[in-house]
A = this chain, B = another copy of it.
Amino acid sequence: MPLVHISLRAGKPDSWRQAIFDGLYRAMRDALGVAEGNHFMTISEHDAANFRYGNAFGIARSDDLVFIQITVFDTRTAEQKKALFRRIADLLGENPGLRPEDVFVNIIESAKENWSVGHGLAQFA
């Protein structure tokens, strides 16, 4: 853990998506202190007909919008989460150059006993 699912519009080069992976991993290292090699992430690419967004909350989003859903332990503080959001937007702004309006993050909390990261064991229970 964390387990991260990313959704974005199809059509970006591999380097764009690698930069998103890299930025998220570094943000989780910096803000959550996750261990080295603790990056478990997938990207799903969507055609226009399968991707819908609006400008709610006064934010002018674009087709570069990225949905980032991060499932983590339920032990993180509000401060850690704030730092994570900040760091993600900053790093993805540097590379691949996402506008801050286009970074949408949601955290799902899941207790330690809910994870098996290999070998059929509940490593953190």
Number of interface residues of A (CB under 8 A): 69
Are A125 and B36 within 8 A (Cβ)? no
Q: Which residues of B contact A88 (CB under 8 A)?
A: 116, 120
Q: Which of B37, B51, B109 contacts A54 (CB 8 A)?
A: B37
Question: Taking the nearest CB of chain B, how far is it from the CB of A56, in angstroms?
Answer: 4
Are B50 and A3 within 8 A (Cβ)? no
Are B82 and A122 within 8 A (Cβ)? yes
CA distance A102 to B44 in the complex (A): 20
Are B120 and A90 within 8 A (Cβ)? yes
Query: A103 near B: Cβ within 8 Å?
Result: yes
The proximity string for A residues 16-43 relative to B, scoring 1 for CB distances below 8 Å and 0 otherwise, is 0110010001000000001111111111
Are B35 and A56 within 8 A (Cβ)? yes
Are B117 and A59 within 8 A (Cβ)? yes
Are A42 and B54 within 8 A (Cβ)? no
Q: Find the B residue at minimum CB distance from A65.
A: B40
CA distance A46 to B107 in the complex (A): 22
